[in-house]
């Protein structure tokens, strides 16, 4: 069996907790900074939406990463493709928001202060999630892989 279901679930739960805490701290810092030209309601809504977008991209990326590590030893090409898909997932969600902001600024849909707040929150959120993703990898979560070419302890003793 390549990986136990409980170790995958544990890795996903730990990642969700760590990523959510990091995102909550980032959102708190972005809300703590006062933007005088924006009402607190708009500011909270903008930070909340951007945080949700960044968190969902980071979490889905981590899920794909954990899944790819379970199959990488038996199907290396699929493992590499899944790792690339995880990086694409982490990048594409914030990029879609940035494209929307660039299009909407030309049409005058968003006022400049709101646009700047969303851009700053997006960059800060992405960088924090990227840092936490790196730290989760360094801590070894999602690392349970199966190597079919390794010898069992029982087979090595006989």
Tell me the per-residue pLDDT of 106-156, one tens digit each, with 9 for 90 and over: 776 677 888 888 888 888 888 888 888 888 878 776 555 444 555 554 454
Kindly report, residue by residue over 39-77, the tens digit of the pLDDT.
888 888 888 888 888 888 888 888 888 888 878 778 888
- Domain ranges in the chain are 5-147
Contact 44, 76 (CB under 8 A): no
């Amino acid at each position: 069996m390549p990986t136990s279901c409980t170790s995958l679930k544990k890795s996903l739960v730990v990642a969700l907790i760590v990523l959510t805490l990091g995102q909550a701290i980032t959102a708190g810092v972005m809300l703590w900074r006062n933007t005088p030209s924006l009402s607190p309601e708009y500011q909270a809504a903008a930070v909340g939406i951007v945080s949700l977008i960044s968190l969902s991209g980071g979490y889905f990326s981590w899920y794909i990463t954990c899944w790819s590590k379970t199959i990488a030893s038996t199907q290396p090409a699929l493992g590499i493709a899944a790792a690339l898909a995880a990086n694409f997932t982490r990048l594409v969600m914030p990029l879609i928001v940035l494209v929307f902001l660039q299009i909407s600024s030309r049409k005058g849909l968003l006022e400049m202060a709101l646009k700047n707040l969303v851009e700053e929150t997006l960059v800060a959120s992405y960088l924090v999630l990227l840092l936490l993703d790196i730290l989760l990898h360094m801590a070894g979560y999602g690392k349970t892989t199966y190597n079919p070419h390794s010898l069992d302890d029982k087979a090595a003793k006989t």
